Amino acid sequence: MPNLKHEKLCLAPVAGVDEAGRGPLAGPVVAAAVILPSKGIPRGLNDSKKLPAAERARLCGLLHSRACVGIGVVEADEIDTLNIYWATMKAMTLAVEALERCLGARVGHVLVDGNRLPKWSFAATPIIGGDAISLSIAAASIVAKHTRDTIMAAHAEAHPHYGWHRNKGYGSPDHLRALREHGPSPLHRRSFRPVAEAFAATESFAPHTIG
């Protein structure tokens, strides 16, 4: 279970950062940055992938009420411009900037899930599998995942063909089938191969005007 071992080794205030949505074919990549309270840390914080959706929603609500939280969102069109790696780095940076506005001060240290860091001027440490080790990163993983899932559920109402309320934009069989049958939406990532192929097929069947 995650704990505060890494946080205690760093200059306070210590933030955990994680992202959600690197792999989907549609929708944004979302990052969250969280500084846990000194008292009243919600019980049950863990890697968001190990928690059911209802528990993530409950914990996310508690974190917003008890912790200092920042969220960064980079949309699909910018993912296509930057590529998914740099879009993720930007989302993390936006999340920390939002966190510092919430905090009203600079962070002392940032713990990031993974093995790569954005180009930051402050101290930061990457931790592979950090969402299962660090409580702060686990908290960030829950906020990022729940926030992105909520965004995709809202988009699913306007684009019902793709089943985003179920697959959250990932390349599930029903999503890929809808992509072939209906073509891509404005929220699809054109730089991702299945979407690029769907765009190419759509264009090849588009009517041509003569004269």
Binding site for a divalent metal cation, by residue number, is 18-19, 113
Residue set of the binding site: 18-19, 113
Please list, in sequence order, all residues whose beta carbon lies within 8 angstroms of the beta carbon of residue 39, skipping any fewer than 6 positions away: none
**Amino acid, res. 182:** H
Helix (H) or strand (E) holding 87: helix 84-103
Q: Note the helical H segments in 134-192.
A: 135-158, 164-167, 173-182
With b for 16 or more beta-carbon neighbours within 10 A and e for fewer, the 147-185 pattern comes to: bbbebbeebbeebeebbbeebbbbbbeebbebbeeebbb
Cβ atoms of 50 and 119 within 8 Å: the answer is: no
SS3 59: helix
